[in-house]
Structure 1
Amino acid sequence: MKLFRHNPDFKMDVLREVGNIGAGHAATALSRLLDKPIDMAVPTVSFVPFESIADRAGGPEEVVVAIFLRVDGDAPGNMFFLMSRPQARRLLQGLAGFEASGEDAYSELELSALCEIGNILAGSYLTSLADLTGLSMSPTVPSIAVDMAGAILTYGLLQFGTMGDDALLIDTTFLKGEEEAEGQFFFIPDPESFERMFLSLGVPLE
């Protein structure tokens, strides 16, 4: 890793690798869960300010399906996986094989399936992040909510406490043949966690 110590692009290279490896792990796990081949497109990885998360999900008043959890360990933080209602319905029908139902209502079974898919995704990205950094990072039991994006993030703040200023955004696309569904995965490290992660790779923050 020392070879990359002074490479300004190394941070994003590492985070893209987290997205790539995590997507591969998630595709394998989802294929086993659903008993059918599921692929995931190469994800787009970027940093976004915390206050921009709701905007990236369609705006604070956009109703979304959200799976969220707390990350404990050496680099604690919060994770959110957000999907629009049409994308969640597409994921349930096209990939998970659920029958068509109301766009705005979800059965307990559908919510459970979405929560498990989000849990697999979060666990896959978290495992790849922990493996690359060598840090201990473990997820709590996830929760799921269908509400306005701004309300979900506010609830997350109240439940988890103050969040960091920046979020790691991984745009995620699930594929099965010509069917696809999209969602956005956000990891919001606590204020000191980003520095801890990059220092573990020998890449101090400027």
Structure 2
Amino acid sequence: MSFSFDNLSSLHLDILKEIGTIGAGNAATSLSKMLDRRIDMNVPEVKIAEFKDVEDIMGGAETPVVGIYLEFSGDICGTVLLVLDVISAKHITALLLGNACSDGLKRDFSEIEISALEELGNILTAAYLGAISSFTGLTIKPSVPYFACDMLGAILSVPMIKFGQTSDKAMFIETDLINGTERFRSHFIVIPDMESFPLILKALGVV
């Protein structure tokens, strides 16, 4: 029987949330070391959302955002998309580069800012995929990250086109990066292909 997101039970979602929580903790630790300051993350909220609803959850199709796109392969395959609003992305690059925050209303990013955000995507993705790998024993290799700054609808169109023929849903993780009193909302969209989800659940012993 082919896999459907509708087959996921509350137990499955609890396990996926636990993996997300551990991945977030790993990512916060990596960022703290990178910045030499304490960075926290709140407990991620994990949802299974239809593509058509994701835009509304994240502020609407016309919202200007930064997207960091990666694919992963190995024992399982799929796509990861990290989405930040432009103001948060500007603040985070300032932290990463040790600069004063530039105007968040400006949507242009310098090459060094783009490199910093791609590295952020690398860190967060490696932490999350590493958590899945540790739980399951599956080999997972992320690709080189790709940066884009555009309207949310355009950013989301890439994974929607790639996976829309096999599924109309994705695993949607929402969390905040916390630096003292500053909170930066991040949206992490993980889209394993349909053949990968049963492998993940089987490796976790919950199928």
The TM tier, using the shorter chain, reads 0.7 to 0.9
* TM-score, normalised via structure 1 length: 0.86
1:121 aligned partner, one-letter code: L
Unaligned ranges ≥5, structure 1? 1-6
3-state secondary structure, aligned to 1:135: coil
After superposition, the C-alpha distances for 1:11-46 in whole angstroms (9 at most, x for unaligned) are 112111111110111011111111222111111111
- Cα distance, 1:143 vs. partner? 0.6
Structure 1: distance between partners of 2:148 and 2:139: 27
User: How many Å apart are 1:139 and its aligned residue?
Assistant: 0.5
Q: Give 1:57-68 correspondences, 5 Å limit.
A: 57-68=58-69
Pairs within 5 Å for 1:90-169: 90-93=91-94, 97-103=98-104, 104=106, 105-156=108-159, 164-169=167-172
Letter in 1 for 2:112: L
State the distance in 2 between where 1:51 and 1:190 align: 18
* Number of corresponding residues: 198
* Contact in 2 for aligned 1:70/1:160 (Cα 8 Å): no
> RMSD over aligned Cα, in angstroms?
2.2
1:159–1:108 Cα change, 3 Å: farther
Mapped contact 2:80–2:189 kept (Cα < 8 A): yes
Task: State the alpha-carbon separation in 1 of the partners of residues 166 and 103 from structure 2.
Answer: 34
Q: Once the two structures are aligned, what percentage of the paired residues are identical?
A: 41
